[in-house]
Structure 1
Amino acid sequence: MPLLPGGLPFPATAAEARILVPDLAARVETTDRIGAVSVIGGADASSTRFDPTRTVHAAIVAMDWPALQELGRGGAVTQGGLPYVPGLLGFREVPALAAAWARLPQKADLLLVDGHGIAHPKGFGIACLAGLVLDVPSIGVAKSLLVGEVEGPLADEAGARAPLVWKGARIGVALRTRRGANPVYVSIGHRVSEATALAWVERCLRGRRLPEPTRAAHDAAGALRRAAGLPAGATEG
C-alpha cells in the first residue's frame, strides 16, 4: 500500500478519508513546477460500484513526447480498499494506480489522469491525489461533470473552450476536442497551472475526443477487466 504525503497510511474508512481531505487538498500546488517533459503518461482506473470485493483495475501508459508513441505500460489489480463513496473515489483507486506506476518501465514527467483534479466537490479529485502520492505533475481530464457549470456558450468546433465555474470560482475548463463531440473537463491536478494543463491536453489530441495518453490508459484498464472476464467499466473521481 502506498503512503500519503507526510508518510501517512491510506485511510481504512470513508470517515478517515474525509478527515484527511482538507490537509491533502492544501498541499496541492496550482502553479507550474514541471521541468522538461520527454515522457508523458496517461492513467485510468476502473471499478464497479457494488462489487463486494472492491476490485480496482488500473493502468498507466507511458508515451514519448512529442511523438506520443507508447514506451511501456504498467497495470495492477487491487481488492479490498475503500467502498464506493462518491467524492472519495481517489482513495479507492489511487492505490491501484500507484501499483501500476511501480510497474511502469519508464516513469512519466507529466501525468494525464482520466478523472477530475480540483473540479471536484471537495476540490480534491483523483488527479490531485495521484499527483501527490506519485510526486508527479498531474492534470485531470474528465469525461463528465461532478460539480459546476459551463459558463457561457461552448461552440461546436474543435478547440472551443469555456470556463467551468462552481460557487463563483473557476475550477477548470470545458474543452471541445472534436467537432460534434461532448467536451472534456480539464482541471489542475498537482504542480500544473490551469493554462498549462489546458495547453498539454490540446497538444496530446490526435483527432479523437480523448487525449492520446488517457485514451491509451482507458484501453489498457479495459483490457485488464476483460482479461478477468468482466465487462468494460469506469469511474471518475
Structure 2
Amino acid sequence: MKVANTDPWPRNPEEAIALQDRLRTRVSTANPRPPHFRTIAGLDSAYSEDGTVVAAIVVLDAETLETVDIATARGTTDFPYVPGLLAFRELPTTLTALENLTITPDLLIADSQGLAHPRRFGFACHIGLLTGLPTIGVAKNAWGDYEMPGPERGSSTEITIDGDPVGRALRTRTDVKPVFVSIGHLIDLETACAQVLSLTPEYRQPETTRRADRLCRQLLNELRA
C-alpha cells in the first residue's frame, strides 16, 4: 500500500511538538462509512540499543482472525526519547513496513495512544492521518485519569485529560487488567471498543497486537544473532 507523507520530518522535539499541534485539528472521531472491517492490521515496533528500529505489520481476517498478510521493515533512529514524541522514533520505519504490505487493511490498530495524549495526537492519530485509514490506539498503560472498570469482560470507564474525555479503560478479560483504548482517526469510540473486544477472544491484548509484537521480537532476536 502507498502512504503519502508530505510534511517535512521534524529534526528535533520542538519541531515535532509544532507538527503535532498543527495536525491534531485534522483528526476525525466519526465513522465516514459503515463500520464493517474485513481486514484489520496490527502495528508494532521495537528497538535495539544501537538505535536500530524494527517494525512489524500483521493483517488479520476480521471474522476468522487468520493472518492474511505480513510486512516488516528495519531502520534506524537518532530522534531522542521524549515522552509524548515516541511516534517520531517509530513512524519512519512503520511507514516503510506499511508500504511493503500487498493489501490495504480496512482498520489499523496501533500498540500506542491516540487522543489519550498530552497534545491529543498520539502515534495512532498520526499514522491514521498519514494513511487515511480508520485507526485505533490500544495501549497497555493509561495516559490520563480514569476509574477502574468493573471486573467483567466488556466493562469500561472513561479516560479524561483535564476533564476532557479521550478514551476508555476497557476490560477485555474478566478479572484481568484493562487495556486503554483511544481514537486514532476516522472512527468513533463505541466502534473502536467493539472492535477491540472482537479481537480479544482469549487474551488481554488484541490478536493484531500480539502477533505484531511477537514478530517484532523475532526480528530483534535475529538481528542480535
Normalising to structure 1: TM-score of the pair?
Answer: 0.88
Give distance in 2, aligned partners of 1:22 and 1:177: 32
| Equivalent residue number for residue 138 of structure 2 | 141
Question: Structure 1 33/81 Cα, relative in aligned 2: closer, same or farther at 3 Å?
Answer: farther
Q: Which runs of 5+ in 1 are unaligned?
A: 231-237
Give distance in 2, aligned partners of 1:17 and 1:29: 21
Give distance in 1, aligned partners of 2:78 and 2:191: 33
Question: Structure 1 34/113 Cα, relative in aligned 2: closer, same or farther at 3 Å?
Answer: farther
Question: Structure 1 89/109 Cα, relative in aligned 2: closer, same or farther at 3 Å?
Answer: same
Q: Which runs of 5+ in 2 are unaligned?
A: none
Give distance in 1, aligned partners of 2:32 and 2:47: 31
Q: Which 4+ stretches in 1 moved above 4 angstroms? A: none
Give distance in 1, aligned partners of 2:139 and 2:66: 22
Normalising to structure 2: TM-score of the pair?
Answer: 0.93
Residue 30 of structure 1 contacts residue 193 of structure 1 at CA under 8 Å; is this kept in 2?
A: yes
Q: Does 1:114 align with 2:114?
A: no
The match for 2:146 among 132, 150, 156 is 150
Give distance in 2, aligned partners of 1:80 and 1:160: 39
Give distance in 1, aligned partners of 2:106 and 2:78: 28
Structure 1 residue 87: deviation in Å? 0.5
Give distance in 2, aligned partners of 1:63 and 1:157: 26
The match for 2:62 among 60, 65, 71 is 65
| Equivalent residue number for residue 207 of structure 2 | 212
Aligned length: 222
Structure 1 residue 90: deviation in Å? 0.8
Question: Structure 1 81/9 Cα, relative in aligned 2: closer, same or farther at 3 Å?
Answer: farther
Structure 1 residue 120: deviation in Å? 0.8
| Equivalent residue number for residue 23 of structure 2 | 24
- After TM superposition, list the pairs within 5 Å mapping 1:164-203 onto structure 2: 164-203=159-198
| Equivalent residue number for residue 74 of structure 2 | 77
Give distance in 2, aligned partners of 1:68 and 1:101: 19
Q: Which amino acid aligns with 1:83?
A: P
Residue 17 of structure 1 contacts residue 88 of structure 1 at CA under 8 Å; is this kept in 2?
A: yes
Identical counterparts, % of pairs: 37
